[in-house]
Amino acid sequence: EAGVAQSPRYKIIEKRQSVAFWCNPISGHATLYWYQQILGQGPKLLIQFQNNGVVDDSQLPKDRFSAERLKGVDSTLKIQPAKLEDSAVYLCASSHSTTGELFFGEGSRLTVL
Amino acid sequence: SQQGEEDPQALSIQEGENATMNCSYKTSINNLQWYRQNSGRGLVHLILIRSNEREKHSGRLRVTLDTSKKSSSLLITASRAADTASYFCATDKGAQKLVFGQGTRLTINP
């Protein structure tokens, strides 16, 4: 079974530029998550999708971050404009509706200069 | 906001010893999960314990849950160098919304 795929693995941009991350979850997983993990900290939930609907985006900085999950499969997370404090690893995860455990991708490491 | 708080923040032991990590949380939960993260990688699910369970085993892992104290512990027995990683607890209050703690960095010395 293929795992959660994320790209790109690494991205370096200047502040005020934009960036987009892509995630392809495990086939059949209805729930998809984006987490932000700052170095030395635990993952912080940015947004949770159930199929293509948003379950929770209370911690998503909506003035600069946006996410979509068209057709309830792939998802993209966009940051525009980026700030220095956005430097982090962006983790995508998916889960089946019945088991409860999350499967994570390898993450996309963003450095904002 | 972070729900789970792990203790200690860092732990260094000799290979073959047992490692114990603790997690405390603030509100009622449906289940509590433990994850491992190797440096530069994504998180890997280790074990899930439901709110009506008190103890669960998986190989060299033993997890306990005390809902009256709102705490959980993860025990790794007979540690190996490959167990070196960060360990996170995550609480699920419902709707599969997981909130992670800050993690415990475990180092196994050969």
Give the span between the Cα atoms of B33 and B96, in whole angstroms. Answer: 11
Contact A100 B41 (CB under 8 A): no
Condensed to tens digits (0 to 9), the pLDDT of residues A14-62 reads 999 999 999 999 999 999 999 999 999 999 999 999 988 999 999 999 9
Cβ atoms of residues B43 and B87 within 8 Å: no
pLDDT over 90 at B1, yes or no: no
Cβ atoms of residues B53 and B33 within 8 Å: no
Condensed to tens digits (0 to 9), the pLDDT of residues B68-105 reads 999 999 999 999 999 999 999 999 988 788 999 999 99
Among B42, B95, B102, select the one facing A106 at the smallest CB separation.
B42
Contact A44 B100 (CB under 8 A): yes
Give the span between the Cα atoms of A13 and A84, in whole angstroms. Answer: 10
